[in-house]
């Protein structure tokens, strides 16, 4: 199987001056709607229009298990992954009420969960394997599996796009995936591993130290070639790699990508190591409480919209931020100009 390629271009910049001019002539002091103005410019630029729209938003949750959990790197037991998938399907998780509140359609994808769901109707079966291998001892994901994950993540996004979606967000469910995110983060940013490792789903300081010790050993054991794909495969998770493929496909299709917390921020970081232009399509929903999240956001020069102390995952921070993105689009489309409203410019 050959490595899937994407055609991702930076949005044309010529329209930016026209977007700025339109926003500056709305009935408000120049710059007074702050980040909403910045968002409107970014979305107008992505869509190459002075009247951007948000249509049929989707939120995709990818689920996968991680072999490294055998080493005790997570506070939560591995059986929580399939248990939470049933909760998603039944509509009882944190992400469910938020998606309902903001009229966002959800897709739940089994990327590689260590469980037989036996034809669970609401679950999209894209299982690569029942959990990754343990990267303390070997690569978590083979090259063939890497290619499969990128392809499958891209396909889910294509399906959303064909349903009319032009703004998409991603979440994850996978006990142990903060560990994999920390490994990607240190490898791609050179930020020391101890600053990338946090409490995950609930470790105390002693638990974090044990987690760091195991991950440090895994990093020392790594004897790969240091290439982007090798690092992604060695330390990655199936659900994380499908999110990377989804993000790259979304950018190719000129979709707005709403980024969630620590894990999804590391997924967009990883995606950018393959195609740097993907970052221009990203809006960062929030800064979470996981220790390394602020550091990786700062590295990406990202400006998160919210800081609510969230650390749930599932994509909750991205979906919480959706109304602000909606507000930006409403601003540029629904506010009157000074001329139309017969208001004297007052700045």
Residues 249, 274: Cα–Cα separation, whole Å: 12
Sequence-distant (≥ 6) Cβ neighbours of residue 71 within 8 angstroms:
134, 136, 214
Angstrom distance (rounded) from CA 304 to CA 283: 8
Residue owning tokens 């982007």: 228
In the predicted model, residues of the chain with pLDDT beneath 70 are: 1-2
Q: Which residues are known to be catalytic?
A: 314
Tell me the whole-structure pTM to 2 decimals. 0.97
Q: Is residue 7 part of a domain?
A: no
Q: Which domain holds residue 32?
A: 14-52+331-341
Q: Three-state secondary structure along 187-199? A: HHHCCCHHHHCCC
Taking alpha carbons only, the member of 265, 95, 87 closest to residue 189 is 265
**Residue 347 counted as domain residue:** no
Give the model's pLDDT for residue 200.
78
Q: Are residues 190 and 46 in the same domain?
A: no
- Please tell me the distance from the alpha carbon of residue 273 to that of residue 276, in angstroms, as a whole number: 6
If asked whether residues 308 and 189 sit together in one domain, one would say yes
Q: Are residues 27 and 155 in the same domain?
A: no
Provide the number of structural domains found in the chain.
2
Structure tokens at 45: 């630029």
Q: Reduce the DSSP state of residue 9 to 3 states and report it.
A: coil
**CATH number of the CATH domain containing 35:** 1.10.1610.10
**Which residue from 149, 150, 322 is spatially nearest to 249, judged by alpha carbons?**
150
143: left (phi over 0), alpha (psi -120 to 50) or beta: alpha
Q: Are residues 155 and 217 in the same domain?
A: yes
Report the pLDDT value the prediction gives residue 3, as an integer from 0 to 100: 83
Does 2 reside within a domain? Answer: no
Predicted local confidence at residue 1, as pLDDT: 44
* CB count in 10 Å sphere of residue 21: 10
The verdict on 109 and 21 lying in the same domain is no
pLDDT value of residue 199: 80
Q: Are residues 182 and 213 in the same domain?
A: yes
Residue 194 belongs to some domain of the structure: yes
Tell me whether residue 3 is in a domain: no
Domain check: are 259 and 297 in the same one?
yes
Residue 1 lies in a domain: no
pLDDT score recorded for residue 205: 85
User: What does the pLDDT read at residue 346?
Assistant: 76
8 domain-assigned: no
Report the SS3 class of residue 242.
helix
Residue 131: DSSP 8-state: S
The enclosing H or E element of 110 equals strand 105-112
Are residues 21 and 91 both part of a single domain?
Answer: no
């Amino acid at each position: 199987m050959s490595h899937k390629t994407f055609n991702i271009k930076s949005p044309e910049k010529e329209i930016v001056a026209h977007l700025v001019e339109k926003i500056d002539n709305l009935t408000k002091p120049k710059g007074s709607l702050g980040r909403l103005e910045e968002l409107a410019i970014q979305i107008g630029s992505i869509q190459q229009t002075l009247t951007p729209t948000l249509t049929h938003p989707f939120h995709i949750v990818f689920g996968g298990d991680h072999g490294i959990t055998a080493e005790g790197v997570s506070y939560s037991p591995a059986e929580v992954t399939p248990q939470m998938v049933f909760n998603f399907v039944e509509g009882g998780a944190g992400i469910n009420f938020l998606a309902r509140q903001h009229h966002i359609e959800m897709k739940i994808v089994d990327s590689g969960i260590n469980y037989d769901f036996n034809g669970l109707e609401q679950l999209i079966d894209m299982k690569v394997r029942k959990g990754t291998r343990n990267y303390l001892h070997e690569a978590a994901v083979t090259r063939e599996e890497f290619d499969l994950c990128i392809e499958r993540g891209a396909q889910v996004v294509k399906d959303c796009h064909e349903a009319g979606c032009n703004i998409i967000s991603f979440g994850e469910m996978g006990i142990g995936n903060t560990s994999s995110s920390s490994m990607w983060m240190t490898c791609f940013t050179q930020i020391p591993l101890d600053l990338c490792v946090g409490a995950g789903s609930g470790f105390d300081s002693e638990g974090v130290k044990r987690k760091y010790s195991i991950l440090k050993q895994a990093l020392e054991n790594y004897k790969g070639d240091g290439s982007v794909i090798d690092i992604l495969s060695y330390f990655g998770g199936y659900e994380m790699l499908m999110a990377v493929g989804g993000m790259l496909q979304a950018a190719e299709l000129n979709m707005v990508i709403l980024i969630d917390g620590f894990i999804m921020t590391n997924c967009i970081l990883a995606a950018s190591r393959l195609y740097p232009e993907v970052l221009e399509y990203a809006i960062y929903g929030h800064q979470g409480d996981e220790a390394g999240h602020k550091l990786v956001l700062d590295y990406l020069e990202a400006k998160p919209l919210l800081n609510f102390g969230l650390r749930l995952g599932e994509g909750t921070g991205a979906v919480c931020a959706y109304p602000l993105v909606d507000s930006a689009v409403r601003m540029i489309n629904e506010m009157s100009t000074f001329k139309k409203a017969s208001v004297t410019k007052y700045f």
